[in-house]
Structure 1
Amino acid sequence: MKAIYIEAFAGISGNMLLGALLDAGVPIDYLAAEMEKLHLGEYELINKRVDKCGIAANYFNVVLPDERQHDVIIGQQHTHTHAEQHHHEHIGVGHHHEHDIGCEQFAHNHEAPEAALHHHHEHRNLHDIAHIIEHSDLSAEIKSQSLRVFTALAEAEAKVHGKTVDEVHFHEVGAIDTIIDIAGCVLALQYLGIEKIFVSNIHTGSGFVKCAHGLMPVPAPATAELLQGLRHSHGNIDKELTTPTGAALMKVLAVSTNDLPQGFTCSKIAYGAGTWDLEIPNVLRINIGEWEAEAGADLLVAECNIDDMNGELYPYVQERLLQAGALDCWLTPIIMKKGRPAQTLSVLLTPQNLDKLTEILLTETTSLGVRYYAVHRHINYRKFTTVELPEGEVRIKYAQMGGRIVNIAPEFEDCKALALKSGRSLKTIMQTAAAAAEAQLEQ
């Protein structure tokens, strides 16, 4: 399957990851057109090549109208000088809309010089952010994954400040630029066909940073909360290198690893730039390639039988398990003693994730115990392509075994969107896409 290995030796933020994904081949015009579907109002997308200690990297940022001539300090973390950003690629968006994103103070990019100006935006909570994303014209998959990242941020902020999720008025999260960073990263990963994301040990930086609440340790409290379960360390840089947004993206989307994952073959390297000029290259390096789990590799299935839990809780538990590294999870209806209907909740996992996932099963369900056993699996090699139909593009997944194509699967969400747009039946769109994919193979 197509995978990405992220090297966060200089930390990670949303704009650094998005800059790297643009460097990897996502067209900026495509990103800009998709981001307009959020109806966020007026902003500019900055996309340019920069040099970081001799490494050419891609720098991405979002600039709001009142930021164009200033260095700005915003909330917990600091934006950078925009004066150098006026002789490169700008993409302006001037659509005004009722949603004016932002809050009185929010964190932004993590690597800027300090300054003294503050933005004043109305406060937004998770419900407001969810409304904006859900009422956008983005695909259902992009909406869902973006909301998962925002929810992780909200939960971290709520825990740190001793509030409920609905009471949290975000710092970094409420901003137009952060919505674009998160939705843009999710969209770019989908565009590149990435199925699996690995991340290295994440350097957070060290020291203290001034914010609305006073001096805060690095990593900032919300960042530290989000990094639980991910390998991370302070490193030797006395700066804030990892933002809550960067940490949330990795928390929700990535699997932590000490090194290049076994079975990963890299075919392309790309770089996203930060703003600080450091003694080390201030870049996020991403390695894109194919990852094939070792055939017959030992895995575990952990499972428990549950007969007394509210059925509404199962989707939440499954989402938590998948976010924490489960390879798959599923429910099987069963009949227990005394004819009592119940469910078996099963989780496919790697041995190193057993303790973490077992804890979720025992704390998030009503089960009093978990059993587990070893299994083996074989994985067919998968690759992606795109076919063009009269109604629009559809992504196609091919499965190969022994060099032969054994399955062709059009992306359901793409076909659904085209069916709703064109008025043709969904099954017709899917059949047409599959036929186009077969014809493409024969060429």
Structure 2
Amino acid sequence: MKAIYIEAFAGISGNMLLGALIDAGVPVDYLAAEMEKLHLGAYDLINERVNKCGIAANYFNVVLPEELQHDVMIGQHEHTHAEHAHAGHHHHHENGDAGHAHEDNHHGHTHVHEHGNCPHQHEHTHEQQIAVAVPQMYHHHEHRNLQAIAQIINASDLSVQIKERALLVFTALAQAEAKVHGKTIEEVHFHEVGAIDTIIDIAGCVLALEYLGIEKVFVSNIHTGSGFVKCAHGLMPVPAPATAELLQGLRHSHGSIAKELTTPTGAALMQVLATSCDDIPSGFSGTKIAYGAGTWELEIPNVLRVNIGEWEAGCGSGDLLVAECNIDDMSGEVYPYVQEKLLQAGALDCWLTPIIMKKGRPAQTLSVLLTPDNLDKLTELLLTETTSLGVRYYAVHRHINYRKFTTVTLPEGEVRIKYAQMGEKIVNIAPEFEDCKALALKGGRSLKTIMQAATAAAEAQLEQ
């Protein structure tokens, strides 16, 4: 399957990840057109090539009317978030160098303002900013809670799958903020400005992953930075409390940089979409490397490195586990959701088997194939996302054929092909179903005809 391995040696944020995915081949025009389906109002997108310690990278950011006017006035002068607070407006640059969220308590509600570089200074040059004439300073006082943001996303014209995945990330973000501030999710309010660019970062990353056909996301140990940052409520430790909450279950460390490098949005994206690993995953074969830039000039390259390639779970022979539970009291609507979460969390496979339990009750056995090091994580997921009161597991052995991948070109477009090989003999040729489906939906030929043509092209390629 097509996968990415993210190296977060300089932290991670939403816009760093999106910048890297654009560098990997996602057209900015495509993202801009999809973002218009959210009906968020006026904003501009920055997308440019920058250099970080000799590495060429892609820098992406969202600029709102308030920020455009403010940056035009400031030019190359530096400013701090303390000055922003005094000015009475919110300025958001989530550039992968910091991610502190603070709260303003009004009438029992927590207003989350996620600052990209709090309290550090950031520099803006005219090359980095879009030259836009704004007639007046805009001040946004509207705040939105998770329900309001969900309404925006659900009312958009984006696909159902994109909406669902974006909302999972936003929900994780809101849950972390609520826990940190001792509030309910309903009481956590995102400032209008912060909400808009965070929606774009989150929805943009989900869209970009879909565009690239990424089925599996891995992330390395995440460097958070270290020390303390001074914000509205005093000194806060690095990582910021919400970020620390979101990093639970993911490998992370402070590293040697005394700055705040990982943002809540970056951590939320990894918490929902990625599987944590110490090194390049076994079975991963890279084909391309892309870089997304942050703002800081550090002693190390301030970039997020993304390796794009193919991943085959459990390459070769080896011992695995099957974890399973019998369930007779859960809605059938929940099973696909749980299976998707299991696969996103690193399950090698999962399946349902109809069974009859005691007293003749119909039920389902939910089975999960997994590596031993992922047992605790997937067991916890089974016990929290299903109605089961327990999980049993046992060792299994398997042998799999060697797999290799290629791409064939049909008149309608490209199709990925998977070969299964036993020794020197090719024993199976399988065109990627989703690729064939996409070409068939364009019209012209049926799905089965596309699949047959792709298989024939693959066989001809082998004979060359």
Q: TM-score range by the shorter chain?
A: 0.7 to 0.9
Counterpart CA distance in 2 for 1:220 and 1:397 is 42
Per-residue deviation, 1:435: 6.4
Pick closer, same or farther for the CA change 1:11–1:78 going to 2, 3 Å. farther
Q: Deviations over 1:306-352 (max 9, x none)?
A: 23445565455445534433333333221112212222121222110
**Rg bigger for which structure?**
2
Give the aligned residue type for 1:228: Q
**1:57 alignment partner in structure 2:** 57
Distance, in Å, in 2 between the alignment partners of 1:387 and 1:219 is: 49
- Residue 281 of structure 1 corresponds to which residue in structure 2? 301
Matches within 5 A, 1:165-184: 165-170=185-190, 174-184=194-204
Question: Does the 8 A contact of 1:172 with 1:178 survive in 2?
Answer: no
Contact 1:105–1:118 (8 Å) recurs in 2: no
Q: Please report the RMSD computed on the Cα atoms of aligned residues, expressed in angstroms.
A: 3.4
CA distance in 1, matches of 2:139, 2:457: 52
Pairing 1:8-157 to 2, within 5 Å after superposition: 8-68=8-68, 69-70=70-71, 73=81, 79=92, 106-110=113-117, 113-114=120-121, 120-157=140-177
Which range moves more in the overlay, 65-74 or 251-260? Answer: 65-74
Aligned-partner Cα distance in 2 for 1:274–1:29: 21
1:409 aligns to 2:420 (yes or no): no
Matched with 2:325 is 304
* Residue 378 (1) aligns with residue 420 (2): no
How far is 1:20 from its partner? Answer: 1.1
Change (3 A) 1:437 1:202: same
Matched residue of 1:240: which SS? coil
SS at structure 1 position matched to 2:57: strand
Q: TM-score, normalised by structure 2?
A: 0.77
Deviation at residue 282 of structure 1 after TM alignment: 0.9
Q: CA deviation at 1:374?
A: 2.5
Question: Could you tell me how far apart the structure 2 residues matched to 1:104 and 1:383 are?
Answer: 50
Q: Which residue does the alignment assign to 2:417?
A: 398
| Structure 1 Cα separation of the partners of residues 406 and 188 of structure 2 | 41
- State how far apart, in whole Å, the 2-side matches of 1:10 and 1:34 are: 29
- Amino acid aligned to 1:141: Q
Q: Distance in 1 between matches of 2:158 and 2:404?
A: 29
Rounded to whole Å, the distance in 2 between the matches of 1:79 and 1:13 is 13
Unmatched runs of 5 consecutive residues or more in structure 1? 83-102
Task: State which drifts further: 42-51 or 430-439.
Answer: 430-439
Q: Structure 1 counterpart of 2:114, which letter? A: A
Give the direction of change, closer, same or farther, for the CA distance of 1:183–1:307 in structure 2 (3 Å limit).
same
Distance 2:285 2:94 in 1: 38
SS at match of 1:107: strand
Q: What's the CA shift for 1:230?
A: 0.6
The structural deviation recorded for 1:271 is 1.2
Q: Which residue is 1:258 aligned to? A: 278
Q: How far, CA to CA, are the matches of 2:375 and 2:192 in structure 1?
A: 33
Does structure 2 retain, via aligned residues, the 8 Å contact 1:72–1:81?
no
**SS of structure 2 residue aligned to 1:124:** strand
Tell me if structure 2 keeps the 8 A contact 1:42–1:65. Answer: yes
Cα deviation for residue 7 of structure 1 reads 0.8
Say whether the 8 Å CA contact 2:66–2:138 is kept in structure 1.
Answer: no
Change (3 A) 1:303 1:51: same
Of residues 354, 357, 363, the one that matches 1:336 is 357
Residue 249 of structure 2 is aligned to residue 242 of structure 1? no
1:391-417 CA-to-partner distances (Å, cap 9, x unmatched) read xx8x8553322366334414598589x
| One-letter amino acid of the counterpart of residue 286, structure 2 | C
Number of residue pairs matched by the alignment: 410
The one-letter code sitting in structure 1 at the alignment partner of 2:360 is: G
Structure-2 change in CA distance of 1:178 and 1:356 (3 Å):
same
CA gap 1:244/1:189 in 2 versus in 1, 3 angstroms: same
Farther off after superposition, 375-384 or 215-224? 375-384
Could you tell me whether the CA contact under 8 Å between 2:64 and 2:193 is conserved in 1?
Answer: no
Residue identity opposite 2:116 in structure 1: N
Q: Residue 207 of structure 2 corresponds to which residue in structure 1?
A: 187
